[in-house]
Amino acid sequence: MRSATRPTFNLLATAAVLGALLPAVLAHGDEGMKMDGDMNGAMDMSASQPDNDAQEYPPNYFSHPGYRGTLVAHIALMVLGWVFVLPLATMFSLARSRYTLPTQFAFLAVNALGVLFSTIYNAKTPDLYPNNAHHKLGWVVTWVLSAQVLISLLGRLAGAFSKKTDNALSNAECQGFLPVSRAAMDEHHRLHSSPYSALHRHSDDSGHGTESRPESLRSPSFSSTPDTLASPGAQTAHKTFHDDDEDLEADADLPTVQRGGAIRNFATNIGSKISSRAWRVLILGYNIVDRTSMILGFVALCTGVVTYGRFFEGSMIFTGLAHWIKGGIFFWLGIFTLGRWCGSFGELGWAWNVKPKSASGRWTPSAEFVESALIFTYGATNIFLEHLGRWGGGWSFEDLEHISITVLFIGGGLCGMLIESTSIRNLLNTTVAEAAQECYDEDERETALEEPRTYNFSMNPIPALVILLLGIMMSSHTQQSMISSMVHKQWGNLLTGASFARGFSYVLTYLKPPTSILPSRPPTELLTSFGLMAGGVIFMASSGDTVLGMINQNLDAMFMYTVTMGLIGVFMAWEIILIAIKGWAVRREFGKPRTARKYYSA
């Protein structure tokens, strides 16, 4: 499961971001309230606080007394839709399950009801956050997901989705190179020598399939009458989607109407007007939304929290972006880490397992290479943004401190990528390899140069080291208030703990490297994911405006800490449940017997 990786409980995670805003934290509010959309990417890490006193705290939706029930209903519905229903629909969609459409429509219904409540609330309350981005972003996300559901509906009615849709083209290529015996070809010509055989294949089908049944050459999406086969839609459907007998059975299981129904005929007519290339683009867009919908929802939720508390107005947008973007990255890294423990990306060898043999033989990066590349990219781009909050002013020691952190990210990320490069490692072995050429005969040389077992698995502590150093530095970072210092120390300690846990994972792996393609699931990775997720949320809460909001509501740092710990535990459980549901859906659609459960990872 790539993804993706990647469950949506992520939306709830920001609930901890604002202990003072706990009811709102659950608000995905993609349509309701409003937020500043000026995302100029300054990355000032300081928790500088605005000049306003707590007594002069501006009016906001959190303290607005009117229509509280309407706002709570909006929040509750958005949590239900975006945190529970949408992740479930995404898992079913990735599994190409028959339950995809029902859950997708359930999400649209819940989301539409939430939009209705937010519209009512906006109409009856003053605009306390003018020109916010939450309102606009919410509508964009809603329409994107509505378009995805429309493609899903049309594709299933027209037969574009089946169990093997994602592998259709690659399967067709493989079939084209299958060896065929002369006897099989003779039998094929005997079956297709009738002058009527042309009526049973598409005009773009050469008729050179290897199946003995003529039905296997038909498209599973359209009937085989001459009129239908002559239509462009039938031809393009044959080009785009695979056409074996399993798919004919699979389509019967999908949530489609009867073939003779008016709705299906209407969908078929629409499908006949869509070219093969257009279908490819639509399905590509569908898959992209599948894998990014949770991130879009997370961003919309964050903007909802910002709007609810009226944070990051004016120049405070820079420090707000710095903390919330970086904290969000750590939160999602924690989700990714827990997904690896569950078995996600096991086909790439990222699930603490031996990478399965690939038929394509293509190179795929290790998980540590991806982490190092992200660290390097972040440092390389962020180094130009550290001074943006004080643009035009002089450079302070604090600016140089932040620049040094980005340099650490650049150097650490580059070092991590070099360590993961097999070419670099081979070059590093040159000296000892040359010595073996001189000191050993041919038989001994082969044994002497045999790679250690640890070469089969990546053990790269550099990404963990970078996070460890960041946690240590920021937990000691000087702040302008006691609460701000405590919050920074909290997330710094959590990131430090996550780094130590990752180090223990490498120790376990070094002592006993994985020998199976099944996930080894080191228990220390559970600690790593918890530290990253909780640390990321509290990182977001350490921004200046957020701390000021806590002070205004008479909340201390431990309130934020304890609420975050509880929510992250729930989020981790929800992610594991979602990935397990996806595994169940895949087995159900592909007909895997329960007795074979030991052969499949979660």
Q: Domain with 278 in it: what CATH number?
A: 1.20.120
In this prediction, residue 389 carries a pLDDT of 63
Reference 1, options 350, 514, 523; nearest CA is: 350
Reference 50, options 544, 555, 390, 550; nearest CA is: 544
| Structural domain harbouring 437 | 421-456
* Contact of 29 with 304, CB cutoff 8 Å: yes
The answer on 260 and 218 residing in a single domain is no
Query: Sign of the C-alpha dihedral, residues 462, 464, 470, 476?
Result: negative
Within a domain: 573: no
The answer on 283 and 216 residing in a single domain is no
Final residue in a domain of this structure, among 432, 456, 480 = 456
The answer on 232 and 153 residing in a single domain is no
Distant-in-sequence, close-in-space partners of 235: CB < 8 Å, separation ≥ 6: 202, 203, 204, 229
In this prediction, residue 271 carries a pLDDT of 65
Within a domain: 259: yes
The answer on 266 and 193 residing in a single domain is no
Give Cα 381 to chain centroid, integer Å: 22
| Per-residue three-class SS string for 459-517 | CCCHHHHHHHHHHHHHHCCCCCCHHHHHHHHHHHHHHHHHHHHHHHHHHHHHHCCCCCC
Could you give the CA distance from residue 6 to residue 579 in angstroms, rounded to a whole number?
8
In this prediction, residue 257 carries a pLDDT of 42
The answer on 150 and 31 residing in a single domain is yes
In this prediction, residue 439 carries a pLDDT of 80
Q: Which residue has the tokens 């010509």?
A: 189
> Could you tell me which residues are beta bridge partners of residue 36?
132
Distant-in-sequence, close-in-space partners of 31: CB < 8 Å, separation ≥ 6: 114, 115, 118, 119, 135, 138, 139, 142
Give Cα 521 to chain centroid, integer Å: 20
Give Cα 174 to chain centroid, integer Å: 30
Within a domain: 386: no
Within a domain: 513: no
Reference 301, options 326, 322, 328; nearest CA is: 328
In this prediction, residue 402 carries a pLDDT of 79
Reference 41, options 388, 316, 303, 328; nearest CA is: 388
Within a domain: 132: yes
Q: Measure Cα distances from 339 to 3, 7, 326, 377, 577 in Å.
A: 8, 9, 20, 23, 11
Intra-chain end-to-end CA distance of the chain, in Å: 10
Number of domains in the chain: 3
The answer on 129 and 77 residing in a single domain is yes
Q: Token pair of 141, please?
A: 């996300």
Could you give the CA distance from residue 317 to residue 339 in angstroms, rounded to a whole number?
32
Within a domain: 399: no
The answer on 241 and 145 residing in a single domain is no
Half-sphere exposure of 515 (CA within 13 A, CB side): 4
Q: Which parts of 156-213 are beta strand (E)?
A: none
* Contact of 434 with 414, CB cutoff 8 Å: no
Half-sphere exposure of 139 (CA within 13 A, CB side): 11
Q: Which residue has the tokens 């099944």?
A: 518
Within a domain: 48: no
In this prediction, residue 369 carries a pLDDT of 95
**Strand (E) or helix (H) holding 439:** helix 430-439
The answer on 205 and 95 residing in a single domain is no
The answer on 121 and 23 residing in a single domain is yes
Could you give the CA distance from residue 174 to residue 185 in angstroms, rounded to a whole number?
18
In this prediction, residue 158 carries a pLDDT of 73
Distant-in-sequence, close-in-space partners of 389: CB < 8 Å, separation ≥ 6: 42, 44, 315, 318, 319, 322
CB-CB neighbours of 545 under 10 Å: 23
Alpha helices (runs of H) in 310-366, residue ranges in sequence order: 316-342
Rounded to the nearest 10 degrees, what angle do helices 276-309 and 86-94 cross at? 160
Final residue in a domain of this structure, among 311, 344, 379 = 311
The answer on 192 and 235 residing in a single domain is yes
Side chain identity at residue 470, one-letter code:
L
In this prediction, residue 602 carries a pLDDT of 38
- pTM, two decimal places: 0.74
Within a domain: 189: yes
In this prediction, residue 334 carries a pLDDT of 96
Per residue in 259-273, pLDDT tens? 456 766 776 677 667
Ranges of the chain with pLDDT below 70: 1-55, 159-261, 263-264, 267-268, 271-272, 359-361, 387-393, 592-602
The answer on 288 and 153 residing in a single domain is yes
Final residue in a domain of this structure, among 408, 437, 456 = 456
In this prediction, residue 388 carries a pLDDT of 67
The answer on 241 and 229 residing in a single domain is yes
Could you give the CA distance from residue 424 to residue 89 in angstroms, rounded to a whole number?
43
Mapping DSSP to helix (H, G, I), strand (E, B) and coil, where does residue 36 land?
Answer: strand
Q: Measure Cα distances from 120 to 109, 116, 117 in Å.
A: 17, 6, 5
